Structure 1
Amino acid sequence: MKKKIAIIGSGISGLAAAAYASKAGHDVHVFEKNSIPGGRARQFKTENGYTFDMGPSWYWMPDIINDFFNDFGYEASDFYQLIALNPQFEMIFADSQLAVPKEYSELKVLFESLEKGAGKKLDAFMKAAQYKYEVGMKEFVQKPCHSWLEFVSPKIAMSAFKLDLLSDFRSYVKKYFSDARLQTLMEFPVIFLGAAPQHIPALYSLMNYGGYALGTWYPMGGFYQLILAMKKIGEQQGVQFHFNQAVEKIVAKDKKVTSIISNETEHFFDAVIASSDYHHTETLLEKNKQNYDENYWKSRTFAPSCLIYYLGFTEQIPNLKHHTLFFENELDDHIDAIYKDKKWPKKPLFYACCPSKTDAGVAPKGHENVFLLMPVATGIEDDEAIREQYFLEMIKRLEKHTGSRHLIDKIDYKKSYCVRDFVQDYNAYQGNAYGLANTLSQTAVLKPSIKNKKLNNLFYTGQLTVPGPGVPPSIISGKIAANEINTII
């Protein structure tokens, strides 16, 4: 039976939920507080010719993303051109640097050059990681996680040992590699999951396979091409989008949501999927209708926020790759600042993205487009003076690596983005950028529920619920939420 469904927020999970719910035959309306779709994956253009993706920049797990398009009879290539990056990225250490090649055979040679026998060990690591990827991403993360009984299947039961759910990622990596640079290289992907490697299940070695083995890609025109494609598919299914519409209240009676109030206007719906920040969504309900109280959220481990600088330079910067990781300082010191001390790091690590190395269209001719990102703790003090302090350090290290001089004098566009901006633009709890950390105690059924426990037609989707943070998981989360709608109608 056709029902009228509201989606709150047009981030990746909201776009996915809208498309799948509309495909199932429902009348779907998306309410977005900002003027364009995408949430954290928005894009903006400057008057002097730069195009900046505001959030995601690593196009990993291309098969999972393509599964979304396949579900609607398309391929990702029907909407945008994907370029395989070579090298995939470069990692800068205090006394050396590593460029991760596109070809796996070359990656093995690199590993062997740094540690005798590491090439064969990489094969063994990736074979196990591929298994986890195929079971984890194709089955494990597809569950709504109402109960552990969902995981009682012969395949998952037989896979339990191989999935390494009870081993920590750091110890797991050390079983394979002794060289500190290789250990850091293999630990790097789990930083996206929002916790220290020693607190992340070894299951997530699947990230290494989804990245290093399947490749690092770039959609020409920027990551926002994915957003535009998802929106177009939604519209083809009949989804209606309402922008500049901040939802102020979710109205419920007895055990059902009856309406939402947006811009002081009431809109009636048969069901609601909230792609907005989970904690914020709960504040739109009466307290006795919320799944979790404030103490619950305070007890959770959140993935980091970040300090971002969007920069335009009047000349091209030599010796800079599309993706560059500046890891000259100790990883653990920065991680401790984020999770243990909850303070700005003394010796930070950071990431530079330079899409104009691949896509000339994102900067004026002869110019360079650079995005600097430094992970920071959620909820910390954020002012312009602190931002500028770290900006100057990042620029200094960028100059040292590239051999460029006086880069500050060559900037013709500069914009910063940090904790308070995540709160303002996305109502992000404590300004988190990446959602809830994928620690063992916050995995699957132990994550915030995808369904409201007191209202039978309110569901949640996105990086604060199952399956977790990241672009492919957010797409999957939207699909799960849309499927859940069908179980109550």
Structure 2
Amino acid sequence: MITNTNSLRKRIAVIGSGFSGLSAAAYAAKSGHEVHVFEKHHQPGGRARQFKTENGYVFDMGPSWYWMPDIIEDFFSDFDYKASDFFQLVSLDPQFEMVFSKEKVSVPEKNSEIRDLFEKIEPGAGRRYDQFMQSAQFKYETGMKDFVTKPCYSWLEFASLKIAGSALKLDLVSNFRKYVSGYFSDPKLRSLMEFPVIFLGASPQHIPALYSLMNYGGYVLGTKYPMGGFYQLVLAMKKVAEKQGATFHFNHNVQQFNTEKGKVTSIRINGEDHEFDAVIASSDYHHTETLIPESLRNYTDAYWKTRTFAPSCLIYYLGVKGKIPHLKHHTLFFENELDDHIDCIYKDKKWPSKPLFYVCCPSKTDPDVAPQDGENLFLLLPLAPGIHDEESLREQYLIKMLARIEKHTGENGLLSRIEYKRSYCVSDFISDYNAYEGNAYGLSNTLSQTAVLKPKIRNKKIKNLFYTGQLTVPGPGVPPSVISGKIVAAEVSKLKIN
């Protein structure tokens, strides 16, 4: 039994150690509470875990795009640290390469050079790029500093003069595709601008133009990489939380919440009950609610079936013998139609016949993630949640992706050069993270699932149960998850436990 001898502070359980859980633990502990983090795996990070192979490969399992570095820096600053206290952050140049059917485009590190690239592809687009990013900067600074920091119990939270006066400039109603087409005509430039919102889990036609802030947070602020892998951010946040007094418990699986008179009184973990004053669940929202009686849940199964979820994905972690000279750190394979692939995810719920996919090769930047004569490859292909994903089907798509990598790089025989291979797909997201239908990124950031319209961060019938992470506010992605943890920790601190 975990107990606490100081009755003046709350005993808080944080369920899960993904980015939102790490953030919530750090902020709650800083506020003086006794914080215990329970993680079912043997290591922190959730989807951002890392594993190492016997033959020298180091794989980040999930996030690989270090965007919005200022938001992450704000987290460390809140605890009087800097990111550089924990890891070395390098800027990628090029930020990434996008492969089209007949050509490829590399996006340079410097914003002025991106502008020149746009002008070269489409005369006049350089000036329009500046205008686009000027508007995107406003949305970023307003959205990421004011809009997404609300607990979103009510629309009244957004009634401040600053936010109300910014409503039109935030483009909350217009869709992203139409917004981009108002600036650029060339299909390649439109793809370059639409690509970042894929992380938000919906077609550009169904994403509010507000999210052009993603373009600013990525292109203008730059694409970074933490040496040692994205997992270095996980380790750094864990260390910050521990410095505040949080305690981590690994291989601890939460099985049930025991409730009485509208409160969680204890949590059953590995067969033993532990008493807490409040619970912050950064675990999958739907799964968390299966741990309490149906009558006490915020949402029914019917509700979840009506939600639009961001994609799941097929991932391959590959250790390849020999170098692949013409592959960049980040490469997007967009030779096929984006809308055809998106329709397979949201309309047809089937495996795409002409897929788009993404390749990360961190060994281009970091010599410590692969043997000296090897490449570390992370292949990701977005899929519909809930789709069937047997191993033989995964293999078929691996062959397709390798063929396109070979065509792009001029390298042959990549399949025969693989010395480590591991696949990860829908069923793995379900078994490892209890992810609803195996989704990888949470709920799509459509207009009908934004802000107050997202699942609430507090249980309506159990006053000391809170939710954080990508299925609630502000939404999917690493920076939003970090913000989500901060929001919920502040709400728990307000809780009166008597």
What TM-score do the two structures reach when normalised by structure 1? 1.00
Q: Secondary structure at the match of 2:14?
A: strand
Match of 2:466? Answer: 459
Match of 1:434 among 421, 441, 452: 441
Do structure 1's residue 252 and structure 2's residue 259 form an aligned pair?
Answer: yes
Shift of the alpha carbon at 1:285? 0.5
Match of 1:115? Answer: 122
Match of 2:162? Answer: 155
Shift of the alpha carbon at 1:254? 1.0
Shift of the alpha carbon at 1:32? 0.5
Match of 1:130? Answer: 137
Cα distance in 2 for residues equivalent to 1:166 and 1:7: 36
Q: Secondary structure at the match of 2:182?
A: helix
Q: Which runs of 4+ in 1 moved over 2 A?
A: none
Shift of the alpha carbon at 1:110? 0.6
1:63-99 CA-partner distances (Å, limit 9, x unpaired): 0000000000001011000000000000000001100
Shift of the alpha carbon at 1:261? 0.3
Do structure 1's residue 290 and structure 2's residue 297 form an aligned pair?
Answer: yes
Match of 2:328? Answer: 321
Do structure 1's residue 83 and structure 2's residue 90 form an aligned pair?
Answer: yes
1:174-194 CA-partner distances (Å, limit 9, x unpaired): 000000000011000000000
Structure 2 letter corresponding to 1:135: T
Match of 2:58? Answer: 51
Shift of the alpha carbon at 1:250? 0.8
Shift of the alpha carbon at 1:418? 0.2
Cα distance in 1 for residues equivalent to 2:453 and 2:348: 25
Do structure 1's residue 396 and structure 2's residue 403 form an aligned pair?
Answer: yes
Kept after mapping to 2: 8 A contact 1:129/1:206: yes
Q: Secondary structure at the match of 2:257?
A: strand
TM alignment of 1:174-323, pairs within 5 A: 174-323=181-330
Q: Secondary structure at the match of 1:310?
A: strand
TM alignment of 1:314-463, pairs within 5 A: 314-463=321-470
Match of 1:468? Answer: 475
Kept after mapping to 2: 8 A contact 1:81/1:220: yes
Cα distance in 2 for residues equivalent to 1:133 and 1:245: 38
Structure 2 letter corresponding to 1:129: A
Cα distance in 1 for residues equivalent to 2:191 and 2:416: 34
Structure 1: stretches of 5+ with no match in the other structure: none
Shift of the alpha carbon at 1:324? 0.1
Shift of the alpha carbon at 1:318? 1.4
What's the Cα RMSD here? 0.5
Aligned sequence identity (%): 70
Structure 1 letter corresponding to 2:336: N
Count of matched residue pairs? 489
Match of 2:42? Answer: 35
Q: Secondary structure at the match of 1:20?
A: helix
Cα distance in 2 for residues equivalent to 1:380 and 1:423: 12
Kept after mapping to 2: 8 A contact 1:318/1:403: no
Shift of the alpha carbon at 1:19? 0.4
Q: Secondary structure at the match of 1:138?
A: coil
Structure 1 letter corresponding to 2:193: M
Structure 2 letter corresponding to 1:325: L
Shift of the alpha carbon at 1:336? 0.5
Shift of the alpha carbon at 1:229? 0.2
Stretch moving more, 248-257 or 465-474: 248-257
Structure 2 letter corresponding to 1:425: D
Shift of the alpha carbon at 1:255? 1.1
Cα distance in 2 for residues equivalent to 1:308 and 1:249: 31
Shift of the alpha carbon at 1:301? 0.2
1:423-468 CA-partner distances (Å, limit 9, x unpaired): 0000000000000000000000000000000011100000000000
Cα distance in 2 for residues equivalent to 1:184 and 1:26: 47
Kept after mapping to 2: 8 A contact 1:17/1:481: yes
1:335-358 CA-partner distances (Å, limit 9, x unpaired): 000011111111000000000000
